[in-house]
Amino acid sequence: MTEEFLQRFYALHYVYPKPLNRLQRLMADDPELGRLTYRPPNEWSALLGISIAQAASLKKAYADSLHIPFDELYQKHKITPISYFHSHYPESLLDLIDPPAILYAKGDTRLLLAPFKIAIIGSRKATGYSRAAIQTLLPPLIAKKTVIVSGLAVGADAMAHQEAIDSGGRTIAVTGSGFLHPYPKENRPLNNIIEETHLVITEYPPYMQPLRWNFPMRNRIISGLSKGIIVTEAKEKSGTMSTIEHALEHGRDVFAVPGNIYSPLSAGPHKLIAEGAVPLWNGGRVLEEYPQLTEDL
């Protein structure tokens, strides 16, 4: 890809941070985006399914953003933009209906190429039971160089990231905001550690606030990166379960940790087990599902 195209692509995503399938509507007959500034607002409107007023505003914002020195901006903040054609962009994400157009990354981007990644998710109100389960599950996985993926939320996500770090493993955090607005505040120290020695990624430009609807979108990246998803504690209806919906849509394996039958946080995993998820009580059980990927690691 030429530097000119990259500048145009970065500028478009900066003002219209949508998945690749949305941006490609503008690229179908203009793959280099060379004519984008000349398209009238009514064409933007028709292609993107937005009002003409919105299209006119977006076109102006795009024209203005073409003058932003993105390479300098991202280098200043130690951000690596990984576009869908970048060598470190995970092929598995292209299987999604709506792949991220760009992954903004801080840390070791080589982790995206790791052959075996497993996600661990659960409730933001996870108890000590989740912590104990994660401490039991991770050592066999980390011994086989499994990269642990999660969403950096409070609760089970943070427990998974922290245990991976403490056990000498590697972890990827997928966040729902731009790097200038790390979220949540409670996990700022953990976020900093992962940025410096592991990997944090987001599909949102640096200025993006942690908006409520960003997080369901974030969940599809967690499942898209991973071979399988482990669920610790979760209510029957929760954001955790929405991640599982993405996982099932994309053919990912689901593992669930059985819990106390009297705890509402066991309802999610028990429902998943009843529907066919693999009940999990040790990390070795996960490895048994992927002998072709783990036997030589």
Question: Does 141 lie in the same domain as 226?
Answer: yes
Residue ranges making up the domain that contains 42: 3-68
CA distances from 24 to 20, 158, 174, 246 (A): 6, 35, 23, 22
pLDDT band at 294 (very low <50, low <70, confident <90, very high): low
Domain count, the chain: 2
pLDDT band at 29 (very low <50, low <70, confident <90, very high): very high
At 252-291, the pLDDT tens digits run 999 999 999 999 999 999 999 999 999 999 999 999 998 8
Confidence check: pLDDT of 296 > 60: no
Task: Report which of 26, 28, 31, 33 is spatially closest to residue 8, judged by C-alpha positions.
Answer: 33
Is residue 159 exposed (0-12), middle (13-18) or buried (19+ Cβ within 10 Å)?
buried
Confidence check: pLDDT of 295 > 70: no
Q: What is the mean pLDDT of the chain?
A: 94
Does residue 37 form part of some domain?
A: yes
Question: Does 266 lie in the same domain as 160?
Answer: yes
Amino acid identity at 134: I
Final residue of a structural domain among 68, 94, 114: 68
Q: Could you tell me the CATH number of the domain that includes residue 265?
A: 3.40.50.450
Final residue of a structural domain among 68, 94, 115: 68
